[in-house]
Chain A
Amino acid sequence: MFVRDAAPGETAETALTIADLTQTAKAILEGAMPPLWIRGEVSNFTAHRNGHWYFTLKDASAAISCVVWARDASRIPAMPDEGMQVMAHGQLSVYAARGQMQFMVRALEAEGEGLWRKAFEATRARLEKDGLLDPARKKRIPRFPTRVAVVTSPDGAALHDITSVIARRNPTVDIVVVPAAVQGESAPASIVAALERVARWRGADVVIIGRGGGSREDLWAFNDEAVARAIAACPLPTISAVGHEVDVTIADLVADLRAATPSAAAEAAVPVLDEIVAGIAVLQQTMIAGVQRRGTIARRDLRRMAGDLSIRARRSVERRRARVQQVAGRIDALSPLNTLARGYAVARDAQGHALGSVTAFSGGQDFSLVLRDGQVGATVTSVHPGALPTARGAAR
């Protein structure tokens, strides 16, 4: 008689261990179902201290336990909220310790980019709290830079756009490339290191930080908080230039100026050479015209002053002349000639000295009498000292 060995688990004697059972179930499940996307509502979310996330995805009639290992969780922009509708990509498996079916999540997305938005807002709130988004702390972008530093990938489209726009607008401007990885997991640290070099070096007038367009994930380094803080800490004025017009990143909020694209950043940073030259010519003309006008004013002032001076001199002469005439009038009034005109005479000796006292006369002396209309020669016949006869005495 043919005796067949019992298959594992077929009889009590060949019963499987639990480990064998769950291991077999796990192998069958994983073999039958490749990694796939599932959708559901998040509930009972827990972030463990070791970095792993645990939650349940459910819909109206079913639920599945989910786990996100720390390594994968670090790539997901933010933790999902309770009740959030999400799509999870991962592998259905078995958690042996509990004998439970479990979905191992590798990637997680929320409706309407909810997780990206949540992460963005959370970072923004932290930066805002630290005052890094304050418009008052934004540095002035220089108007006429001669050296522009560009933190970006040395092989990227952004660098090409920036160098060609700058070369077209002003070929005298130097460009210093500060290489950085701008996508992938190493990008944030690489950008931070490049910014740190620029800050230490300081050899440029302005720094452009950016990259060309890409997916939300490609641009994510520019939403990184460490990158934002490095931009804020940069001692040189910064211009962010990430992706396309519609992409607004945390870097844009922190930079001193946000340009919509790398080309726009180059245009914002570097003025057109011909316009600078024309501007300088206008300044030169303004200066020359101004100084000439000032010269004209000075000449006019000088002429007016000379005119004033001659008028003043003439007035001064006239004033003096008037004064002389006035004094002359007064002298006339006091003049003895006026007395003579009233009929008096003055006695004078041969030398013309007035003889005002009897003591000046001696007998036989010749003298002359000056009258209103001429002189009379006379000789002293007698001298009588004594008081002058008064009008009253004469009347008596």
Chain B
Amino acid sequence: MSFETDLNRLEEIAAALDRADLSLDESLALFEEGIARLRAASDALARAEGRVTTLVEQADGALKERDAGN
């Protein structure tokens, strides 16, 4: 669940930067990480529309997703 991880981490980073009690190096490193995660989260939101699928169990017991309605 990388989107969740990214957003949770972003909140931590924003809170840490907001306190401004870090060294300049730490601040800059956190900011860089924050920007990377921000980009990842934004990309995830910009992706194509979500799908509706059905989980089906095959004869061999393997679980596969199939487009709903088929």
Contacts and interface: CB of A to CB of B under 8 A. Distances in A.
A187 B14 CA distance: 48
Interface stretch (A103-111, A140-148, A253-261, A375-383): A140-148
Contact of A287 (B17, B53, B63, B68): B17
A204 B41 CA distance: 18
B17 A179 contact: no
B17 A286 contact: yes
B56 to A, nearest CB: 8
Given A149-B55, A287-B17, A294 B22 contact: yes
Interface in B8-45: 8, 10-11, 13-20, 22, 24, 27-28, 30-31, 34-35, 38, 41-42, 44-45
A283 B3 contact: no
Contacts of B57: 197
Interface in A184-224: 197-198, 200-201, 203, 205
A171 B49 contact: yes
Main SS at interface, chain B: helix
Contacts, number: 120
B65 interface: yes
Interface residues on A, range: 35 or more
26 contacts: A146-B3, A149-B55, A154-B68, A167-B50, A174-B52, A174-B53, A176-B52, A177-B54, A178-B54, A179-B54, A179-B55, A203-B55, A203-B65, A277-B45, A283-B38, A286-B18, A287-B14, A287-B31, A287-B35, A287-B38, A289-B17, A289-B18, A290-B20, A294-B17, A295-B24, A298-B24
Interface of B: 1, 3-4, 7-8, 10-11, 13-20, 22, 24, 27-28, 30-31, 34-35, 38, 41-42, 44-45, 47-55, 57, 63, 65, 68
